[in-house]
Amino acid sequence: MKIEKLSYIIIAALLTTVFVLVTYLFSPFSWERGEIVKVTKIYYVDNISDSHRKVIALFNKKYEGHIQVEAINLPFEKFSTNERKELLARFLRTKSDRIDVFAVDQIWVPRFAKWAVPVDYYLRPSTKKDFLSYAVQSCRFEDTLMAVPFYIDIALMYYRKDLLKQHPEYSSLQKKLKKSIEWNEFIKLCQSSTFNNHPPFIFQGADYEGLICIFTELLDGINSSIVSGNTIKLNTKEVAQTIQFMIDLIHKYKISPEAVLRFKETQSYNYFNENNGLFLRGWPGMQKDFKDNKKLSNQIEVVPVPHFAGSKPASVFGGWNLMVSRYSSRLSESFMFVNFLLTDEVQKLMYEEGTYLPINSSIYNDTSYTKKHPELLFYKSLLERGIHRPFLTNYTTVSDIFSYYINLALRKEMSIKEALRNADESINSQQILLK
């Protein structure tokens, strides 16, 4: 075990330099007196997609001459989820006011709460009332609302209908898939000789948070969890059974190529596309990539992930929340931006442009809107049976360590027993893992 990851230090230093170079202080705008001293700039850190840019442009236009949002981009293509987490944490420790609003994976809220402002006071009552209950659940820490949901995510599965149609039992299989097929049937389907030339099932098996999402979902499927009260329990037969099942998908049943062991979302999508994959476990946001792909745009369908016999179908939640730095000197302006992002107008734009699932229940209940976007009702059905990852203050450390050892076990570079013992020892010793 080593103490820190050198790349994090280098990237964090570069990011800090960027913050200092591109930002400067302005006197605030006095809303009470209607006086404009200078334009107030607020700094927003996120994965800045085209959808984000359009939303920021709308806000800047609306408050032109008063407030201007400057985006600091940490794209998923360049920074893993874990790298983004470490960069933000490092910068916030400096207590600088050069960050105002920042996006966090929903599971980071307990870790980042000490650097954030409680948001309850700054939100419109109508806004809070409209939040999806399962979206706002991830925003609380010690009974205090420390974040707001920006968009929610839910695991699902894509498949190539043009390939599946080659199977003689296509119609019945399609019906089962739409309801969530049982794992034993799914494995048999993937092993069918009909699909010999196509990698049957692609998932994200790299050493990162996405692997923990899949693991959590499978473990829940056998009615178990790694958390008992506030205690992490890894050395259980259920945890070992779940890891063994993931190993078997690759090495026994051979429905997933060994390449999945290095895949995060982008790599899994590219492999699925380039190798004519049959099934891909993913998230709604991937839908945009398929729409932009002329080859696949009309051939992709979405269905629930498989489930174990005797258990209810369930999908793990994902999504990103917004927090406001406690060191910000521009709280009023920052929360004006946050409240703007939570409006139906913005939530709809984010969905239509980038398939970011809305967090306002009013949108899902708007029949005229769901008539235009009927797939929202499918997503809603998944959300209603979603499951959260554990909400623990040290969850990010647990996840970093556990994903590392699960990946080693999946690679067969370490036995399951040894992987669980090492993970348990590392977590209990509060070590930081160098990957």
Give residue 82's pLDDT band: very low, low, confident or very high (50, 70, 90).
confident
Give residue 295's pLDDT band: very low, low, confident or very high (50, 70, 90).
confident
Give residue 23's pLDDT band: very low, low, confident or very high (50, 70, 90).
very low
Instruction: Give the chain as a 3 state SS string.
Output: CCCCCHHHHHHHHHHHHHHHHHCCCCCCCECCCCECCCCEEEEEEECCCHHHHHHHHHHHHHCCCCEEEEEEECCCCCCCHHHHHHHHHHHHHCCCCCCCEEEEEHHHHHHHHHHECCCHHHCCHHHHHHECHHHHHHHEECCEECCEEEEEEECEEEEEHHHHCCCCCHHHHHHHHHHCCEHHHHHHHHCCHHHCCCCCEECCCCCCHHHHHHHHHHHHCCCCCCEECCEECCCCHHHHHHHHHHHHHHHCCCCCCHHHHHCCHHHHHHHHHHCCCCEEEECCCHHHHHHCCCCCCCCEEEECCCECCCCCCCEEEEEEEEEEECCCCCHHHHHHHHHHHCCHHHHHHHHHHHCCECCEHHHHCCHHHHHHCCHHHHHHHHHCCEECCCCCCCHHHHHHHHHHHHHHHHCCCCCHHHHHHHHHHHHHCCCCCCC
The Cα 224–Cα 314 span in angstroms is: 13
In a domain, 1, yes or no: no
Question: Measuring CA to CA, how many Å separate 327 from each of 15, 120, 310?
Answer: 17, 17, 50
CB 76 within 8 A of CB 47: yes
The separation between the first and the last C-alpha atoms of the chain, rounded to the nearest angstrom, is 9
pLDDT score recorded for residue 15:
52
190 and 325 together in one domain: no
Residue 31: pLDDT over 70? no
Residue 95: pLDDT over 50? yes
Residue 35: pLDDT over 60? no
In a domain, 102, yes or no: yes
141 and 212 together in one domain: no
pLDDT score recorded for residue 12:
52
Residue 433: pLDDT over 80? no
148 and 263 together in one domain: no
In a domain, 435, yes or no: no
Give residue 393's pLDDT band: very low, low, confident or very high (50, 70, 90).
confident
36 and 110 together in one domain: yes
In a domain, 225, yes or no: yes
Residue 33: pLDDT over 90? no
Residue 32: pLDDT over 70? no
132 and 174 together in one domain: no
Residue 27: pLDDT over 60? no
Q: Per-residue pLDDT averaged across 154-159, rounded? A: 98
Please tell me which residue, 396 or 160, carries the higher pLDDT value.
160
- Amino acid sitting at position 32: E
135 and 32 together in one domain: yes
Residue 30: pLDDT over 90? no
Q: Per-residue pLDDT averaged across 122-134, rounded? A: 94
What CA dihedral angle connects 46, 284, 386 and 148, to 10 degrees?
30
Give residue 16's pLDDT band: very low, low, confident or very high (50, 70, 90).
low
The Cα 63–Cα 68 span in angstroms is: 7
187 and 237 together in one domain: yes
State the CATH number of the domain containing residue 45.
3.40.190.10
In a domain, 433, yes or no: no
In terms of DSSP bridges, do strands 201-202 and 279-282 run parallel, antiparallel, or are they unpaired?
Answer: parallel
382 and 296 together in one domain: no
The Cα 217–Cα 213 span in angstroms is: 6
pLDDT score recorded for residue 391:
86
- Amino acid sitting at position 422: N
pLDDT score recorded for residue 297:
77
The Cα 105–Cα 389 span in angstroms is: 11
pLDDT score recorded for residue 3:
43
64 and 149 together in one domain: yes
In a domain, 434, yes or no: no
Q: Per-residue pLDDT averaged across 205-214, rounded? A: 95
In a domain, 57, yes or no: yes
Q: What is the pTM of this model?
A: 0.87
168 and 259 together in one domain: yes
As for how many domains the chain has, the answer is 2
- What's the domain range around 237? 156-316+392-428
Give residue 14's pLDDT band: very low, low, confident or very high (50, 70, 90).
low
285 and 408 together in one domain: yes
30 and 61 together in one domain: yes
In a domain, 397, yes or no: yes
Residue 270: pLDDT over 80? yes
